[in-house]
Chains A and B, each alone.
Chain A
Amino acid sequence: MELHIQKCQQCGSRNLRNILLREMDQQVFVQCRDCSALVARYVLAKGGYHHVGKGFESFLRSVERDGGFSSAREIQSDYDDLEQDVKQRFKELTAQAHEKYGDNLP
């Protein structure tokens, strides 16, 4: 597994902003807050968006761009699993980031 904390390739700043765009795909543009350069762009996979604190609504925003479900039984548990999984993955990756970068994350 690779883990990187991104920085602006132009000015080296780690002061970045995420701009979420919803049109044909869901995309995230990462912009440097110091020099305004474009740092990266991500296209979100179907069902890949999760906004902490706006859980189910963010889940629905992914579902509305997804084809559909053939079964109704697991929607609640799928959502609960997703929420738990995101939290767990974040916990693991911050631990790994500390291992790689030390106590003070860049």
Chain B
Amino acid sequence: MELLKNQKFLASSVLVLMLLLVETIGIPATRLTHPQEITAAILIIAAILWVSEWVSLFVVSFLILALELVWLMPELNAAGISVTSQSFFSPFFSNIILLFMGGFVLSTLMQKYGLDIRFAQFILKQTKGNPSKTLFGIILACSFLSMWISNTATTAMMLTMVFPLVRRIPESHVFRKALVLAIPFACNLGGIGTPIGTPPNAIALSYLAERGINLSFSQWMLLTLPFLIIFLLVLWQGLLRMFPAGDLTLDIPQRQTGEFTLKHWAAVSVFVITALGWFIGSGYGLATGTVALFPLIFCFWFGLLDTNDFRGLPWDVLYMVSGGLALGVALNVTGLGSVLISALPLDASPFVLMGITAGVAALMSTFMSNTATAGLIIPLVMNLDFDRNYMMALVLALAMMCSIAMALPVSTPPNAIAFSSRAINSKDMMVTGGLITVVGFITVMAIGPTYWKLMLNIIQ
């Protein structure tokens, strides 16, 4: 019994059982080819391990790759389907992965030189202690920063900045909760705003590129920013109404930031040049990943960052994205994706299908990792027989729902951090986060397809 409680043992058992099952009796009651059965097994193993979190999430990505190389590829070749290991390696280093690496370098740069703290402090100072403006300032700072740096790190930084402010408000005052809740929610939402804001965006962009829809950095922002602005305004007004400030006046604390040296200016310059490169680079034939090489090379060449910083990049997040993309390769080459989709009763209109899949994505990412959710769902829906406009709308909607679903403390790391501070209770989080999830879903469904179709016609 003790062994059954061991998560590593359970994970190993799932793996061995699936291998034995597929190699002995196959997957009963299906007409799948053997490579398709293997792909289904890999998909099930990945889903179980990503949902259960019995092993570290990034390890699952490498397991997917290993199973594809040693189990699936020989079977594909034996079945006469010519496929090389290169096909399975490619998701682990692509334009999108390079873009994300560039994003991580910028993120490290901003944190190392305290640019994030200075920016947040500047915004808060402008609010002059007015509760409504301060709340908006916190939301603005969180969302802007998390468009560029990790949502988790932004949440942690902003909470340490806001806690001294919260402590100066009487304990019985409800506005304390608004200040604390605003941080994780704005950070979750902010990730929507740029391709590097959160890993599900990278997965969405990769699959769209496979379909021939190549969205540039600025095009992604054009497609998602209006939604982000709506969500942030809803968050701001919702929190103000649910946790009114009354006649409170806030005393904005100052955090020591030290001198702004030449290196700090250099860091700001690298950030601005890279962002500009991402905005206008496509006009000069530069892919986003190519632009990302600039901060990567410049920062380490001129010593703004060092080898320890390189070692400290969040490689686990990067490889989780790769795992989601690697699953898609297997679904595609074996044709399992099409088989699964054709087996479902999908007679409904594209709009209804979009609603169902977006709802499922929201539900899944409420309970499990956003990246894992995107990695499981997006490769599957790519097999739907949608036209170009609707496919883009569907993938964007799914990527956004992965970030918008935030009703529980376990929904996202920012939620978990804010909840663990014990400044808010689970009911506060469920009510407010649930409201944002519902409003987000309705907004995406109501405006998304029309707006994205219009934009796609204009930009491409």
Contact surface of A with B, Cβ cutoff 8 Å: 23-24, 46, 56-57, 60-61, 63-76, 79
Contacts and interface: CB of A to CB of B under 8 A. Distances in A.
A64 B413 CA distance: 12
Interface in B415-460: 415-417, 419-422
A46 B111 CA distance: 13
Contact of A72 (B156, B159, B409): B409
Contacts of A68: 150-153, 314, 317, 413
Interface of B: 53, 57-58, 104, 107-108, 111-114, 150-153, 156-157, 159-160, 163, 258, 312-314, 316-317, 320, 369, 371, 409-417, 419-422
Given A57-B163, A68-B314, A63 B420 contact: no
Closest 4 CB pairs of A and B: A67-B314, A68-B150, A63-B156, A64-B156
A60 B317 contact: no
B104 A61 contact: no
A63 B421 contact: no
Contacts of A64: 111, 153, 156-157, 160
A66 B153 contact: yes
20 contacts: A24-B113, A24-B114, A60-B156, A60-B159, A64-B153, A64-B156, A65-B153, A66-B153, A67-B312, A67-B314, A68-B314, A70-B320, A70-B369, A71-B57, A71-B369, A72-B411, A72-B414, A75-B417, A76-B420, A79-B420
Contact of A70 (B108, B316, B422): B316
Nearest to B116: A64
Contacts of A76: 416, 419-420
A96 to B, nearest CB: 30
Given A24-B112, A72-B412, A67 B153 contact: yes
Given A23-B258, A67-B153, A72 B57 contact: no
Given A61-B156, A70-B317, A71-B57, 4 more contacts: A63-B152, A70-B314, A74-B53, A75-B420
Contacts of B112: 24
Contacts of B108: 67
A76 B411 CA distance: 13
Nearest to B423: A56
Nearest to A43: B308
A93 B316 CA distance: 33
A70 B416 contact: no
B395 to A, nearest CB: 21
Contacts of A66: 152-153, 156
Nearest to B57: A70
A57 B314 contact: no
A57 B160 CA distance: 6
Contacts of B160: 57, 60-61, 64
Nearest to B257: A23
A67 B420 contact: no
